[in-house]
Structure 1
Amino acid sequence: MLPLNLLESFLQSAEGGGFSEAARRLGMTPAAVSKNVARLEARLGVRLFQRSTRRLALTEAGERLLQQVRGPLAELQGAMAGAAQDAGEPAGTLKVAVAHGVGRMYLLPLLKGFIERYPAVQHDWRFDNRTVDLIGEGYDVAIGGGIELAPGVVARELGRPRILAVAAPAYLAGRGLPQHPSQLAGWDGIARRSAESGRLRDYLLRNAAGEEALAEFRTIATFDDPEAMAQAACMGLGVALLPGPHAAPLLESGRLVRLLPGWHAEVGPLSIYYSSKKLLPAKTRAFVDYVLAQLQGMDFAGRLDRL
């Protein structure tokens, strides 16, 4: 059986992109991490990394091993952390996947309070707008929308964002405000491309009376990131259809103006995802409970509903 420290050195080197970053994460020296990886390669009889003076790259064998051990190793670490939780506070590395904008604007500000409450937990956050495989990629928690509820995964809803039409005051200067989505035709707009499918996203706007209309404009720029769309809109480039969490602070500051306030597009819920296993590590349970309590305290879901 392979010693866990060899596999851990390999995993952290692969995910961190080098021995130095793996050493920082593991509290070791780069030389010790490199030695562990060399021992693992010797035990397996294959080369796992292509080494050069500039970078460390996985071989095909290394890629296969990474995919095979990432999930099981995380499960084993979680089990060990769970077995040890009776002896003290939640501890260990918490691996979190979170969407860019929601993570930076709403969740990152909560991190300081969690660290003060649970100082033995180390945080490894990955900011990504793509849909992640919670179990397969070894995450403890994922926060976003549209993540498939695969076997072994549960979701707790945080709120239901809406898609809002917005533009900068500079762009609106001298223009009459539209009263219906059809009046956006001919206006400049910033489109969003799906980071996963590569297709442009179309949004069907609805109002309280149940009317529906497709929001169409003359596309002058396309992005796959709502934060970039928001910044482009603030620059006065045109209309953008933004998720409520991204639009809210810019609307409150006056940098953007809400168009068609009676209209919006519905999207799926924003949720926090984690494993459904009964022996959930203390670090994961503590983080999930903390995030839910903090967002409830700031009426996060209610703010989204009122946009």
Structure 2
Amino acid sequence: MLVHLDCFVISADNGSFSAAARQLGLTSAAVGKNVTTLETQLGVRLFQRSTRKLMLTEAGERFLQEVRGGLTAVKMAMQGLSTSTERPSGTLKVSMGTFFGMHFILPLLVEFLTRYPDIEPDWEFDNRKIDLIGERFDAAIGGGFDLPQGIVARELAPVHAVLAASPAYLSQHPPFLEPEDLARSAGIRIRSPQTGRIRNYMLRNASGQEAPVNLPVRMTFNEPEACCRAAEMGLGMVMANMPDLLPALESGKLVRVLPEWYAEAGAVFLYFPTHKLLPAKTRVFVDFIIEKFREHRIARRIDARITAQKMPDK
């Protein structure tokens, strides 16, 4: 049945049995016979035939529209089965945010290459939004990407923005107990490289209360890591995303301020083309990243709602 459908679709696309035969590597008579068999099975005429021309009937045009996508999907599924046991290999082009990639993804590379030595990483560490299909990336890790048709977004972890400062800075100021107390701090804020604006967050807590971030701006940077470093130097209080702050928080170089309060900041996603015929190199990368996020409990470690409750040691 599949070869009959193939002959029908390719004949319709080319307008002749002979052209379809050349493409399929069959004789013109074989193609015509397969189409006739299909017509007999369906009980309708699909083509109007003449010595010069091959034209679709009305039923044939309707059937072509209905069957084309399904035939492609079946052929892709069959090809996927035939390649499911292939050894993952080739260049793996992945885009990821600079800080997140360096601190959370790059450390996994040794284990990944031990498992899949034939894969050649080609990774771009950048905070820009990419066109995953147009720029021929196999995958991307980040947030806020447009999601065109044909791209899957798998959420890896929620992201929250929180306040943090160095122990030295906090020791020099009265305790910050309520959001209103932020007005007497020196703020280190992140300026969006895309918009040039400082993002205005709305703080919230587990009780559902909300409060604006009244943090006076002392200095701004367009790179989250620079903001965190400045806060570690005791230059002020930073408002940044948990993934950017986590290394300093876990090492004790920074401490959460108003730990019961946080702001929603989206999520970290793993982007990749739809599952149909996903190359082995991309498939194993996706599975590996999801596995390691679970194993290292990264989602829990960067969840401001959990860390505020003094999560157990990782």
TM-score, normalization by structure 1: 0.70
Which runs of 4 or more aligned residues in structure 1 lie more than 4 Å from their structure 2 counterparts after TM superposition? 81-87
Distance 1:257 1:140 in 2: 37
The within-5 A match list for 1:41-120 is 85=83, 88-120=86-118
The one-character-per-residue Cα deviations of 1:189-245 (angstroms, maximum 9, x if unpaired) are 111111211111111110111111111222121111111111111011101012112
The equivalent residue for 2:123 is: 125
The equivalent residue for 1:171 is: 169
Q: Is the 8 A contact 1:129 1:225 kept in 2?
A: no
The equivalent residue for 2:10 is: none
The within-5 A match list for 1:193-208 is 193-208=191-206
Which stretch of structure 1 is more off in the superposition, 249-258 or 263-272? 249-258
Which stretch of structure 1 is more off in the superposition, 296-305 or 96-105? 296-305
Which of these residues, 241, 245, 248, is aligned with residue 247 of structure 1?
245
The equivalent residue for 1:154 is: 152
The equivalent residue for 1:224 is: 222
Which of these residues, 129, 143, 148, is aligned with residue 145 of structure 1?
143
Distance 2:157 2:85 in 1: 35
The equivalent residue for 2:57 is: none
The equivalent residue for 2:179 is: 181
The equivalent residue for 2:302 is: 304
For residue 279 of structure 1, report the CA deviation from its aligned partner: 0.6
RMSD value, Cα: 1.8
The equivalent residue for 1:29 is: none
Q: Is the 8 A contact 1:190 1:219 kept in 2?
A: yes
For residue 182 of structure 1, report the CA deviation from its aligned partner: 1.7
Structure 1 residue 260 corresponds to structure 2 residue 258 = yes
Structure 1 residue 293 corresponds to structure 2 residue 291 = yes
Name the SS for the 2:207 alignment partner: coil
Q: Is the 8 A contact 2:86 2:280 kept in 1?
A: no
Which of these residues, 263, 279, 282, is aligned with residue 280 of structure 2?
282
Distance 1:105 1:84 in 2: 37
For residue 169 of structure 1, report the CA deviation from its aligned partner: 1.5
Name the SS for the 1:195 alignment partner: coil
Q: Is the 8 A contact 2:188 2:237 kept in 1?
A: yes
Letter in 2 for 1:104: M
For residue 173 of structure 1, report the CA deviation from its aligned partner: 2.0
Name the SS for the 2:198 alignment partner: coil
For residue 85 of structure 1, report the CA deviation from its aligned partner: 4.5
Letter in 2 for 1:120: D
Distance 2:80 2:233 in 1: 49
Label 1:90 to 1:209 Cα distance change in 2 as closer, same or farther (>3 A): same
Name the SS for the 1:185 alignment partner: helix
What percentage of residue pairs aligned between the two structures are identical? 46
Q: Is the 8 A contact 1:167 1:259 kept in 2?
A: yes
Letter in 2 for 1:168: S
Distance 2:128 2:160 in 1: 19
Label 1:165 to 1:86 Cα distance change in 2 as closer, same or farther (>3 A): closer
Q: Is the 8 A contact 1:177 1:259 kept in 2?
A: no
Name the SS for the 2:302 alignment partner: helix
Label 1:208 to 1:87 Cα distance change in 2 as closer, same or farther (>3 A): closer
Letter in 2 for 1:231: R
Distance 2:136 2:198 in 1: 30
Computing the radius of gyration over CA atoms, which structure comes out larger, 1 or 2?
2
For residue 108 of structure 1, report the CA deviation from its aligned partner: 0.6
The gaps in structure 2 that reach 5 residues or longer are: 1-78, 308-314
The gaps in structure 1 that reach 5 residues or longer are: 1-80
Q: Is the 8 A contact 1:82 1:282 kept in 2?
A: no
Label 1:87 to 1:254 Cα distance change in 2 as closer, same or farther (>3 A): closer
Q: Is the 8 A contact 1:144 1:272 kept in 2?
A: yes
Letter in 1 for 2:121: H
For residue 249 of structure 1, report the CA deviation from its aligned partner: 2.0
Distance 2:231 2:172 in 1: 17
Distance 2:121 2:82 in 1: 19
Name the SS for the 1:289 alignment partner: helix
Distance 2:129 2:212 in 1: 26
TM-score, normalization by structure 2: 0.69
Q: Is the 8 A contact 2:203 2:213 kept in 1?
A: yes
